[in-house]
């Protein structure tokens, strides 16, 4: 059991000025998880078993009006990336391996969407991870052909590794099951400039999904190394601030704020953010800018330390994508606070918005650093799996947070794993299997550079859950 597990748990749920405090009680967390699983609230779509370890993977999950397709790669589900992708018979006269890889991913995506009751026109967000820059242009060309008129909010990052040998791209997508009052609509304005063509933001119902934003320059603006001068520390200033400070302020105030406003939202309505930083040493300064921007009430936030030169502009140090509610939304922003050790003191444990629960990124720490269970395993590597120990600590926290928000681990709709060593994923999956049995799970896994921000940790999880009920 993690060292940070409290003797008396406390829940504070904040919705605007409303605040309530209660103590956890009633059936055990595990019993509630199993009850919810039996109810089948979240439905796996096209589940398969992967590899000799029989990893039970859900290519998609349907949860109410949402369809999540997670961890899609060009695989045949038997041997990995097939030779028909990596070694075409006529490589100089036909599509390149990267084009074939992208085409297979979108074939998988089409099947998941159809099986879940929707189609590509209803994709509202897409996250892409690549292992090299050369794969991006062929992928984008395929994406433009396959996604039709609605271009979803998009984030693209170049990462260190993917789970399959010879894979160069991985896709996570989110679509909706359309209804007359729940149709996606792209918000496109020329002065909020996406790098590779996606909509700056997409509206559906009460929600706004904003593409990954970085410090792009307005047309005609002065630049330095591809970044706008406004996003750079003055070259002649000895103490003119730090590069990450200037760049983050620019991204937040000149890119994200306008994108929100044009979608009928504002900073106070942001419920979830993913931040990609290319320099670990920028973390503390970034967090201070982040706190100042939100005025103290932060969204659920996941910070991923990405490789250098992993963003669309080589000199860029930060990219941020966000999810927000619209002004006047029926759904409420509900901050979930609970006595589990956070990765960062300022971040809420989670934010519930409508029927979705977004957790801040989790690592296997307690109040004193890496959790004791993880230390014990690391010091005795033949007697256990460090990855499984870390995942168990993380999932214990997630289970507690879910119970506080009125949902359970069984209602997981997306599990993004960021690992400094992808070979640790199997141990991570075993920890999930211990809690959820042979349930097919919606996961993706991406290799990131070490070390993690918390010494002794080698993984970060970004977890989303379905949380139907009042919010």
- What does the pLDDT look like over 358-393, one tens digit per residue? 999 999 999 999 999 898 887 887 787 899 999 999
As a whole number, mean pLDDT of residues 165-193 equals 88
| 380 contacts: CB under 8 Å, gap ≥ 6 | none
Do residue 118 and residue 25 come from a single domain?
no
231 located within any domain: no
Task: State which of 166, 183, 200 marks the end of a domain.
Answer: 183
- Domain with 405, as residue range(s), is 6-39+332-471
Task: State which of 148, 183, 218 marks the end of a domain.
Answer: 183
Do residue 60 and residue 176 come from a single domain?
yes
pLDDT of 239 over the 80 cut: no
| Range of lowest pLDDT (124-128, 271-275, 435-439) | 435-439
Predicted confidence at residue 30, as pLDDT, reads 40
For the chain, what percent of residues have pLDDT higher than 90?
A: 77
b (16+ CB within 10 A) / e for 300-338:
bbbbbbbeeebbbbebbbbbbbbbbbbeebebbbbbbbb
Do residue 136 and residue 167 come from a single domain?
yes
| pLDDT class of 169 with cuts at 50, 70, 90 | very high
For residue 271, how far is the Cα from the chain centroid? Answer: 13
- For the chain, the domain total comes to 2
167 located within any domain: yes
How many CB atoms within 10 Å of residue 111? Answer: 15
107 located within any domain: yes
Predicted confidence at residue 41, as pLDDT, reads 86
Higher-pLDDT residue of 435, 191: 435
Predicted confidence at residue 353, as pLDDT, reads 98
pTM metric for this prediction: 0.90
Predicted confidence at residue 375, as pLDDT, reads 87
Do residue 154 and residue 74 come from a single domain?
yes
| pLDDT class of 88 with cuts at 50, 70, 90 | low
288 located within any domain: no
Task: State which of 157, 183, 209 marks the end of a domain.
Answer: 183
Cα separation, 219 vs 222, whole angstroms: 9
pLDDT of 252 over the 90 cut: yes
pLDDT of 25 over the 70 cut: no
Do residue 337 and residue 429 come from a single domain?
yes
Do residue 341 and residue 395 come from a single domain?
yes
77 located within any domain: yes
Do residue 35 and residue 60 come from a single domain?
no
What backbone phi and psi angles, to 5 degrees, belong to 20? -130, 150
122 located within any domain: yes
Do residue 33 and residue 65 come from a single domain?
no
User: What Rg do the C-alpha atoms of the chain give, in angstroms?
Assistant: 21
256 located within any domain: no
Q: Give the DSSP H or E segment for 176.
A: strand 169-176
From residue 174, alpha-carbon distances to 70, 85, 184, 332 in Å are 8, 25, 11, 21
Do residue 139 and residue 32 come from a single domain?
no
Cα separation, 282 vs 107, whole angstroms: 39
3-state secondary structure of 191: coil
Do residue 85 and residue 177 come from a single domain?
yes
Do residue 52 and residue 150 come from a single domain?
yes
63 located within any domain: yes
| pLDDT class of 36 with cuts at 50, 70, 90 | very low
Taking all residues of the chain, what is their mean pLDDT, rounded to a whole number?
A: 88
- Which CATH number is 51's domain given? 3.30.1330.40
| 85 contacts: CB under 8 Å, gap ≥ 6 | 74, 97, 100, 101, 104, 166
Angle formed by the axes of helices 425-436 and 29-39, nearest 10°: 80
Do residue 154 and residue 172 come from a single domain?
yes
As a whole number, mean pLDDT of residues 5-29 equals 35
């Amino acid at each position: 059991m993690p060292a940070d597990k409290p003797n008396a748990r406390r829940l504070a749920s904040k919705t605007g000025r409303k605040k309530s405090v209660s103590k956890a009680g009633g059936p055990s967390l595990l019993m509630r998880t199993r009850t919810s699983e039996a109810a089948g609230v979240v439905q796996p779509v096209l589940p398969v078993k992967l590899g000799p370890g029989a990893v039970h993977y859900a290519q998609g999950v349907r949860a109410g009006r949402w369809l999540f397709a997670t961890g899609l790669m060009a695989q045949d589900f038997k041997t990995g990336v097939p030779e028909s992708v990596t070694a075409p018979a006529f490589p100089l006269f036909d599509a390149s391996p990267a084009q074939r890889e992208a085409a297979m991913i979108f074939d998988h995506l089409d099947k998941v969407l159809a099986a879940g009751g929707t189609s590509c026109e209803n994709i509202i967000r897409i996250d892409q991870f690549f292992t090299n820059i050369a794969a991006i242009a062929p992928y984008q060309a395929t994406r433009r052909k396959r996604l039709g008129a609605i271009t979803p909010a998009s984030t693209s990052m170049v990462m260190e590794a993917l789970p399959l040998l010879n894979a160069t791209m991985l896709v996570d997508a989110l679509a909706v099951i359309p209804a007359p009052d729940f149709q996606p609509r792209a918000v496109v304005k020329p002065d909020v400039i996406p790098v590779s063509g996606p909509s700056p933001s997409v509206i559906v119902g009460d929600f706004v999904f904003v593409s990954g934003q970085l410090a792009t320059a307005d047309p005609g603006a002065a630049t330095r190394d591809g970044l706008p001068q406004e996003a750079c520390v003055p070259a002649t200033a000895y103490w003119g601030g730090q590069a990450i400070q200037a760049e983050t302020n620019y991204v937040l105030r000149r890119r994200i704020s306008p994108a929100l406003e044009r979608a009928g939202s504002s900073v106070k309505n942001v419920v979830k953010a993913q931040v990609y930083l290319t320099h670990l040493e920028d973390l503390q300064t970034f967090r201070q800018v982040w706190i100042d921007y939100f005025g103290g009430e932060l969204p659920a936030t996941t910070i991923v330390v990405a490789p250098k030169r992993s963003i669309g502009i080589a000199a860029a140090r930060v990219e941020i994508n966000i999810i927000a509610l619209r002004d006047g939304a029926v759904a409420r922003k509900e901050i979930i606070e609970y006595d589990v050790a956070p990765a960062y003191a300022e971040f809420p444990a989670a934010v519930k918005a409508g029927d979705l629960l977004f957790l801040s990124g989790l690592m296997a720490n307690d109040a004193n650093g890496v959790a004791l269970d993880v230390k014990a395993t690391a010091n005795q590597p033949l007697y256990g799996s460090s990855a499984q120990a870390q995942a168990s600590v993380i999932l214990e926290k997630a289970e507690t947070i879910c119970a506080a928000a009125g949902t359970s681990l069984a209602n997981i709709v997306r599990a993004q794993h960021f690992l400094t060593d992808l070979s640790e994923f199997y141990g991570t999956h075993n920890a999930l299997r211990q809690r959820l049995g042979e349930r097919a799970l919606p996961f993706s896994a991406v290799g990131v550079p070490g070390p993690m921000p918390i010494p002794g940790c080698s993984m970060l999880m970004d977890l989303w859950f379905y949380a139907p009920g009042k919010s």
